[in-house]
A and B are shown apart, each in its own frame.
Chain A
Amino acid sequence: MAEPRPTAETEQAGAAPEPARRRLSPKSVVIWTLVAIVGAAGWAVLALSRGEDVSAAWMLAAALGSYAIAYRFYSKFIANRVLKVDKTRATPAELHNDGVDFHPTDRRVLFGHHFAAIAGAGPLVGPVLAAQMGYLPGTIWIVAGVIFAGAVQDMVTLFFSTRRNGRSLGQIARDEIGVVGGAAALIAVFAIMIILLAVLALIIVNALAESPWGVFSIGMTIPIALFMGIYLRILRPGRVTEVSLIGVALLLLAIVAGGWVAESSWAETFTLEPGTLVIWMVIYGFLASVLPVWLLLAPRDYLSTFMKVGTIGLLAVGVLIALPTLKMDGITKFATSGTGPVFAGSLFPFVFITIACGALSGFHSLISSGTTPKMIQKETQIRTIGYGSMLVESFVAIMALIAACIIDPGLYFAVNAPAGVVGDTVQAASQAVGNLGFTITPDQLAQAAKDVEEASLLHRTGGAPTFALGLSEIFSAAFGGAAMKAFWYHFAIMFEALFILTTLDAGTRVGRFMLQDMLGNVYKPFKNVSWKPGVWIASAIVVLAWGYFLWVGVHDPLGGINQLFPLFGIANQLLAAVALAVCTTLLIKSGRLKYAWVTAVPLLWDVAVTLTASWQKIFSDDPKVGFFAQRDVYQTALDKGLDKVGLAKNREQMETIVTNSTVDGVLSILFAVLIVVVLFEACRACLKAIRHPAAVTLSETKYVKSEIVAPASLFATKEEKAEMAAAGLGPDGRPLKEESTV
């Protein structure tokens, strides 16, 4: 290494010296050229093949090749040139080390933690829905989106929060772009939480309705979690690994037992209508959020984390072994016509709204500015944790897209189109799919349902059943054979439902907490989290809020997913806009104007997408796209005294549509206004900083020298190993002398 040079931008105490540029060795030039060729070959095959079957291996090559290059070059550029992460600067974990909340965590452990916190059902759902436009638009957005937007957002947010003692995004927004922007950000977080919970719950309801196997298995997770909770609290406190292994074993047993129940006389008891399931979900959500954390939430969390990491690993292996063939077209006609049955609207902006998690997910900024910055050991590890974890989540999204594209396209549309389009018999569905321009016979539809031992697969919207079909295809090809199809299908349903329920539980609590905080400004006792009436009232409000949208989603003749998913996407991308606006403001305020484009370009893209989508949802004349145009169609029909119009079969359904469209339209307006407010405030803060750089105040913590020696990436380099050896540490980062736990 050359002597560190002082940089031009040393206005902050202890700004990192710019690392000397090193030429790539011939060996790494060869390796990276090969990686680039593999990636480029993948993209070429995906883009150029028309009408013939393409192996999923090409999609993997395109994605993995691109990720590798982005991680090696772009994330390094962001870390060293833009953020100037400082190896010598102590992180909050080192400064405030209390051994519990703040403690410098090994980077490999923290990578696991952070990944488990950001990855959930989101990346499994969006890509499946977006598959209606073919696999190509989804693949391009998932890969390009994560490289230039999603992973950048996670990494930069993590960096700035680490420099601010792990402050949350809302607090940073208030500190750096002002009270109004901060308040808008808070309202946005609350609103998105409600829509998120409703959409996630809707996905489970659609997957579990009329499925005794599914309902029994998922129902059993509650007693299993209670047992684990009591075990951890009373029998053997803190023994998480053993209780999780017991829990997973019981869970697998519950899936198998679900098959027995479905064939027994109990089947009827567990065959529930969507409406009944909604009521159960609301009751569950309320109880789960007022019961003590140790009894239900904590054990459920362990269970779903184990399942998540295990299944995603298994899926990656399965895809590599099975290397299935993509049956969906690269680009379907719905990409241009915008008349797709799964969600309405054309490719731009709606693919970019539908696939949020996996490409750019605003929600991650809450994790990157929450627990992770309090645990990170070294600033240099921000690249691995922030950028690297997000690449893995993006890979999960690619696998979900593969799962959706390997099943027969005819089956895909029969499963994902709303009830009003598909109808209730296999004959009607076969015809409806034919009208959409795809073919599947009634017999094939009946057989597909029989293979996974479900009564019917028609209009099981929401993505989970489609993903489960794809996963059962992959897993039965890779391990177990066709006889295991039904097991793997229900395994996948269970896997998704498990962490959706965990999110529902945790999200209701967070929503309740935020609401209590807001209500506390009006009536003081609400702020006290141990004041029971306050907890109950706030929980009830939150549960009823998402319960309302869930109820509406289940009963909407136009299809709940079709109506609500765009709102969820818009809300998630709105949160991303808040995070990217905060990041851009901070880059400018901290004297990095030259590099502000790193977050400003994705911000502009995100705003263009979100505002175009909002505009179309509010003002479009096409009743399939615009909420208010939709409202007009049905209101006019009601005024004329018609009994039937569009997908509404009677006057009651017409009235439902009128109410829902109005509510959804008003929410779209609210989201659009919030984005504009945050952007306006951020622009003002940026302009002020550019005009009067001397007057800028940053709430960054002071530089303190770090005593910790630790590698930056998952694997230590030769130099880092030498440094660690000099500090008396073994190659795994633990002191050489004794087995220490720190």
Chain B
Amino acid sequence: MSTGTHGTLRHVSTGALRHRLSRLRWFVRELTGEATYDRYVAHARSHDPDAPVMSRRAFERSRTDAREGDPREGFRCC
């Protein structure tokens, strides 16, 4: 297999690639709102690590159902 500088270079480039991919994944999750649940749990547990939290299913339900109450949130333009 590769030796010396070549090996290091390859190592660096896969590391950089992995870093890029993780940032892309982070960006997409933030943009689509997939990360909202994690954020909610982190927020709820930021003061009390044992605070009760909703399950993912219950949380996502409450979030879409909230749009039922006020449809102006998340409205799209023409």
Which A residues contact B (CB, under 8 angstroms)?
A: 97-101, 103, 105-106, 108-109, 112-113, 116-122, 168, 196, 200, 232-233, 237-241, 244, 292-294, 297-298, 301-302, 304, 357, 361, 363-364, 366-367, 370-371, 499, 502-503, 506-507, 509-510, 512-513, 529-530, 572, 732, 734, 740-742
| A302 and B74 alpha carbons, distance in the complex (Å) | 11
| A503 and B71 alpha carbons, distance in the complex (Å) | 12
A232-B60, A513-B70 given as contacts; is B39 within 8 A of A361 (CB)? no
Chain B, interface SS category: helix
A302 lies within 8 A of B32 (CB) = yes
* Least Cβ–Cβ distance between A461 and chain B, in angstroms: 17
B78 interface hit (Cβ, 8 Å): yes
A99 lies within 8 A of B27 (CB) = no
Interface size band for B: 35 or more
| A99 and B30 alpha carbons, distance in the complex (Å) | 12
Per-residue interface assignment for chain B, residues 54 to 72, with 1 indicating a CB less than 8 Å from any chain A CB and 0 otherwise: 0011011101110111111
B34 lies within 8 A of A239 (CB) = yes
Nearest neighbor of A118 in chain B, beta-carbon distance: B77
Residues of B within 8 A of A116 (CB): 76
B7 interface hit (Cβ, 8 Å): no
Q: Which of these, A361, A506, A530, contacts B71 with CB under 8 Å?
A: A506
A742 lies within 8 A of B67 (CB) = no
A-B contact pairs, 17 of them (CB 8 A): A99-B42, A116-B76, A122-B78, A237-B59, A237-B60, A237-B61, A292-B68, A293-B67, A294-B65, A357-B77, A364-B77, A371-B74, A371-B75, A499-B76, A503-B76, A529-B69, A742-B43
* Least Cβ–Cβ distance between A355 and chain B, in angstroms: 13
* Least Cβ–Cβ distance between B68 and chain A, in angstroms: 5
Q: Which B residues from 10 to 24 make CB contacts under 8 A with A? A: 23
* Least Cβ–Cβ distance between B15 and chain A, in angstroms: 15
B76 lies within 8 A of A502 (CB) = yes
A122-B78, A237-B56, A361-B78 given as contacts; is B65 within 8 A of A741 (CB)? no
Given contacts A105-B30, A361-B78, 12 further A-B contacts (CB under 8 A): A99-B40, A112-B31, A120-B76, A233-B60, A238-B34, A293-B65, A298-B64, A304-B76, A357-B77, A370-B73, A371-B73, A506-B74
Which of B26, B44, B72 is most buried by chain A, counting CB atoms within 10 A of its CB? B72
A120 lies within 8 A of B77 (CB) = yes
| A529 and B68 alpha carbons, distance in the complex (Å) | 8
* Least Cβ–Cβ distance between B34 and chain A, in angstroms: 5
How many cross-chain pairs have Cβ atoms below 8 Å apart between A and B?
132
A109 lies within 8 A of B30 (CB) = yes
A168 lies within 8 A of B72 (CB) = yes
Residues of B within 8 A of A529 (CB): 68-70
A100-B63, A241-B34 given as contacts; is B73 within 8 A of A301 (CB)? no
A99-B40, A366-B77, A741-B42 given as contacts; is B30 within 8 A of A106 (CB)? yes
| A118 and B78 alpha carbons, distance in the complex (Å) | 7
B33 interface hit (Cβ, 8 Å): yes
The 5 closest A-B pairs by CB, nearest first: A99-B43, A509-B71, A122-B78, A240-B32, A237-B60
Residues of A within 8 A of B72 (CB): 168, 366, 370, 510, 513
| A302 and B64 alpha carbons, distance in the complex (Å) | 13
Residues of A within 8 A of B64 (CB): 233, 292-294, 298
Residues of B within 8 A of A366 (CB): 72, 75, 77
| A112 and B30 alpha carbons, distance in the complex (Å) | 10
A740 lies within 8 A of B23 (CB) = no
| A572 and B78 alpha carbons, distance in the complex (Å) | 10
| A112 and B70 alpha carbons, distance in the complex (Å) | 22
Nearest neighbor of B68 in chain A, beta-carbon distance: A293
Q: Which of these, A244, A294, A301, contacts B76 with CB under 8 Å?
A: A301
| A168 and B26 alpha carbons, distance in the complex (Å) | 30
